[in-house]
């Protein structure tokens, strides 16, 4: 065991279930099932995290009541015995990796969508789920559940837990966070009933207490029960107060749950000025809530709490996690996205190899793909996640080759390191004096803090893999011909766009602004994608008057929904003028003329016109070489990659193939 982290890596217990350390993989929806059944992709996903050293694996949100309880089409299901064989194999692969296995059981309630369940959603009350910028979701008014239906759903939770036990799981987690039914019963905003299930704290917690009692009756005392609990729900009506959360925590302890995973919930129609995207979340941000619940339980009972409280919230930094445990703020640490991007994170910590941990940059593409687009979750750092059967590991090269990779951006480095790890001799060339490509600017806009964590990781990977790095020289066709590689990988990125707009030569590229070029006292940004909008925030925070002009009807449309909403909320708060469905007609030394959607012409005066309409793939080197090599690839932005997960996937795939 790594002695730097004696608390984090020491054994723990949840009920009578013994864990090898105090880390818990948080349940995160992946939407990788086969019509609710455990698929090979699901097996591989969780097997890899268990082998990666985590103490307990909590399998993603699993439906106890189809179709009404479904969240996505790819959601796992446990409402029938036919799902037990697959769940048995899932519990087995988790145990084979050394972790304990828990299954998160859930009902989506009013959060379900008619397009998924084929009917009107149900909920504690006929109160529609409010729009939330955090998920970009709103919903129709649900049908209020009858008391008989509620009791039937309680039975479904208990029966699901029994199936999990029969399948070999060590316990279950009752999902009571977010827009799921558990939180809905606890929230004054969602639950306005006046019968035995509403009207008071004691009644709003009844749904949970009944489920726990029924699980205990079917599964016994040795079967562990965790509750994933929103101890506070912020929103228009303050659905769950901190005092509510303290009361609920104490009642759950009294009811015999074995641990509480402590989080917060939130409903906001639009983000405030101080709202941060995930790319700027502080480490271990939810740990303080565990401390507050400890205090709350003590104030109610006069005694210390009896069960572990699991805290986290961007907890992949082992130093911060260790400090949270050592200070007594929480008893165990849950890790979510950190284990998506780096499945063996805990092993790397244990082996004193923290500098090999790929950071989660907080881009939000994982949840965006799943909830917004109905697809599997993907990751900007882990090319395997959500692709095919999630097959980890790559085969050594059968024939050792000499490989030239041109471009040390994200795609190029990924291709180079994977090819080198497979045994190839790899030369990586970069025109600039440093690696990173577009990532060198990605962390410059406000609230992109975690993007800066990626570059040190990439540099370390180049060192560890044995890739030979060459910087500060533009590689030509002749250079490649002289090297005589067996294979060529072009990752040459982008070149500035040259729009057919009169006066375009008078503009400054947005990336020059992010790199430090001055913009005067006023600026017009032409192009309202993510780069344009982030540049607008970058300038507006400096007190510069900014206008964004976009041809489409959406701004920052190539950004994840939550990050997009927060970014646009910031622009609104900074009084950035945002003009959509407008077309720039001409650029002059004093400003920009444009036409709106009705064809009316306008003139904007500005010190600087900034171009952010999307650079073009630079395929010049690839085009010049493609007839000279039988094995040549074009990847990343130079192949139209667009977003980081695509660039990483391109690089990984070619690195495995070459």
pLDDT of 237: 66
Of 78-87, 219-228, 496-505, the range with the lowest mean pLDDT is 496-505
d(CA 480, CA 476): 7
pLDDT category at 130 given cuts 50, 70, 90 is confident
pLDDT of 563: 86
Summarised one tens digit per residue, pLDDT across range 343-355 is: 999 999 999 999 9
User: In 3D, which of 278, 199, 291 has the Cα closest to residue 245?
Assistant: 291
Query: Rounded mean pLDDT of 645-650?
Result: 93
* Cα four-point dihedral sign 219, 221, 226, 231: positive
Summarised one tens digit per residue, pLDDT across range 585-606 is: 999 988 999 999 999 999 999 9
Summarised one tens digit per residue, pLDDT across range 540-587 is: 999 999 999 999 999 998 787 888 888 999 999 999 999 999 999 999
Summarised one tens digit per residue, pLDDT across range 155-206 is: 999 999 999 999 999 999 999 998 899 999 999 999 999 999 999 999 999 9
Calculate what percentage of the chain has a pLDDT beyond 90: 86
Could you tell me the CA-to-CA distances from 293 to 263, 314, 333, 529 in Å, in that order? Answer: 11, 19, 15, 42
pLDDT of 139: 78
pLDDT of 388: 92
Contacts for 471 with CB less than 8 Å, ≥ 6 apart: 408, 429, 430, 431, 432, 433, 434, 435
Of 126-140, 153-167, 311-325, 423-437, the range with the lowest mean pLDDT is 126-140
Going from N- to C-terminal start, the domains of the chain cover: 12-372, 402-496+616-657, 504-611
Full DSSP string of 586-628: EEETTEEEEE-TTS-EEEEE-SEEEE-S--EE--HHHHHHTTT
Distance of CA 105 to the CA centre of its chain: 21
* CATH superfamily of the 504-611 domain: FAD/NAD(P)-binding domain (3.50.50.60)
Q: Is 304's pLDDT higher than 90?
A: yes
Q: Given 180, 421, 594, 652, which residue is catalytic?
A: 180
Token pair of 552, please? 């489409």
Helices 644-657 and 410-421 cross at an angle (nearest 10°) of 30
The pTM of this model reads 0.94
d(CA 535, CA 580): 16
**Which fold, 12-372?**
TIM Barrel (3.20.20)
Q: Is 422's pLDDT higher than 70?
A: yes
Query: Rounded mean pLDDT of 69-85?
Result: 96
pLDDT of 1: 64
Q: What is the CA radius of gyration of the chain?
A: 26
Calculate what percentage of the chain has a pLDDT beyond 70: 97
Q: Is 134's pLDDT higher than 90?
A: no
CB–CB of 445/534 below 8 Å? yes
d(CA 614, CA 465): 33
Query: Rounded mean pLDDT of 36-51?
Result: 98
More confident residue, 270 or 177: 177
Q: Is 124's pLDDT higher than 80?
A: yes
Is 652 among the residues known to form the active site? Answer: no
**Which fold, 402-496+616-657?**
Rossmann fold (3.40.50)
User: In 3D, which of 143, 84, 72, 88 has the Cα closest to residue 110?
Assistant: 143
| Topology agreement, domain 402-496+616-657 and domain 504-611 | no
Mean pLDDT of the chain: 94
d(CA 41, CA 385): 9
pLDDT of 136: 62
Q: Is 484's pLDDT higher than 90?
A: yes
Whether cis (ω within 30° of 0) applies to the bond prior to 158 is no
pLDDT category at 431 given cuts 50, 70, 90 is very high
d(CA 199, CA 187): 10
């Amino acid at each position: 065991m790594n002695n730097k982290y004696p608390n984090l890596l020491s054994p723990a217990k949840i009920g009578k279930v013994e864990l090898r350390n105090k880390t818990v993989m948080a349940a995160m929806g992946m939407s990788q099932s086969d019509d609710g059944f455990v698929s090979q992709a699901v097996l591989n996903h969780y097997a890899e995290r268990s082998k990666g050293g985590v103490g307990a694996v909590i399998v993603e949100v699993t439906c106890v009541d189809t179709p009404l309880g479904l969240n996505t089409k790819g959601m796992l299901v446990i409402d029938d015995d036919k799902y037990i064989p697959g769940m048995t194999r899932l519990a087995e692969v988790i145990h084979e990796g050394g972790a304990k296995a828990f299954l998160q059981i859930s009902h989506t309630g009013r959060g379900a969508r008619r397009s998924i369940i084929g009917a009107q959603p149900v909920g504690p009350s006929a109160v529609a789920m409010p729009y939330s910028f955090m998920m970009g979701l709103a919903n129709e008014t649900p049908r209020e559940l009858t008391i008989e239906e509620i009791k039937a759903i309680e039975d479904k939770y208990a029966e699901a837990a029994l199936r999990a036990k029969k399948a070999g799981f060590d316990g279950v987690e009752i999902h009571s966070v977010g827009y799921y039914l558990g939180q809905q019963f606890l929230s004054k905003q969602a639950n306005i009933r006046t019968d035995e299930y509403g009207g008071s704290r004691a009644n709003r917690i009844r749904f949970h207490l009944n489920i726990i009692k029924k699980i205990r009756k079917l599964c016994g005392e040795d079967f562990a029960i965790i509750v994933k609990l929103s101890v506070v729900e912020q929103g228009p009506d303050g659905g769950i107060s901190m005092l509510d959360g303290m009361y609920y925590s104490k009642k759950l302890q009294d009811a015999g749950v074995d641990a509480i995973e402590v989080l917060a919930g939130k409903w906001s129609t639009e983000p405030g000025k101080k709202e941060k995207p995930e790319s700027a979340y502080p480490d271990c941000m939810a740990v303080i809530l565990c401390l507050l619940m400890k205090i709350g339980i003590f104030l109610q009972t006069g005694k210390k709490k009896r069960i572990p409280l699991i805290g986290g919230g961007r907890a992949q930094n082992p130093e911060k996690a260790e400090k949270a445990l050592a200070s007594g703020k929480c008893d165990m640490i849950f890790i979510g996205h950190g284990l998506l991007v780096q499945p063996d994170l805990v092993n790397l910590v244990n082996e004193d190899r923290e500098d090999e941990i790929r950071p989660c940059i907080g881009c939000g593409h994982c949840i965006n793909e799943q909830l917004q687009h109905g697809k599997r979750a993907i990751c900007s750092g882990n090319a395997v996640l959500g692709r095919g059967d999630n097959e980890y590991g790559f085969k050594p090269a059968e024939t050792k080759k000499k490989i030239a990779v041109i471009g040390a951006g994200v795609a190029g480095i990924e291709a180079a390191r994977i090819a080198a790890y497979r045994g190839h001799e790899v030369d990586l060339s970069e025109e600039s004096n440093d690696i990173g490509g577009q990532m060198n600017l990605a962390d410059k806009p406000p609230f992109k803090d975690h993007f800066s964590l990626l570059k040190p990781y990439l540099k370390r990977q180049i060192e560890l893999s044995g890739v030979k790095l060459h910087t500060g020289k533009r590689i030509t066709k002749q250079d490649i011909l002289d090297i005589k590689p067996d294979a060529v990988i072009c990752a040459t990125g982008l070149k500035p766009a040259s729009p057919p707009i009169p006066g375009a030569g008078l503009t400054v590229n947005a990336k020059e602004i992010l790199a430090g070029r001055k913009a005067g006292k006023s600026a017009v940004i032409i192009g309202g994608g993510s780069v344009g909008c982030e540049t607008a925030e970058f300038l507006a925070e400096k007190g510069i008057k900014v206008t964004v002009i976009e041809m489409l009807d959406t701004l920052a449309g190539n950004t994840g929904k939550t990050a997009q909403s927060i970014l646009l909320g910031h622009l609104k708060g900074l009084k950035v003028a945002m003009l959509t469905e407008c077309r720039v007609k001409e650029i002059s030394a004093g400003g920009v003329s444009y036409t709106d959607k009705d064809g009316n012409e306008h003139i904007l005066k500005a010190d600087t016109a900034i171009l952010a309409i999307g650079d073009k793939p630079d395929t010049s080197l690839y085009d010049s070489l493609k007839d000279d090599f039988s094995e040549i690839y074009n990847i990343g932005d130079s192949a139209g990659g667009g977003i980081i997960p695509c660039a990483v996937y391109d690089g990984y795939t070619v690195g495995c193939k070459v």
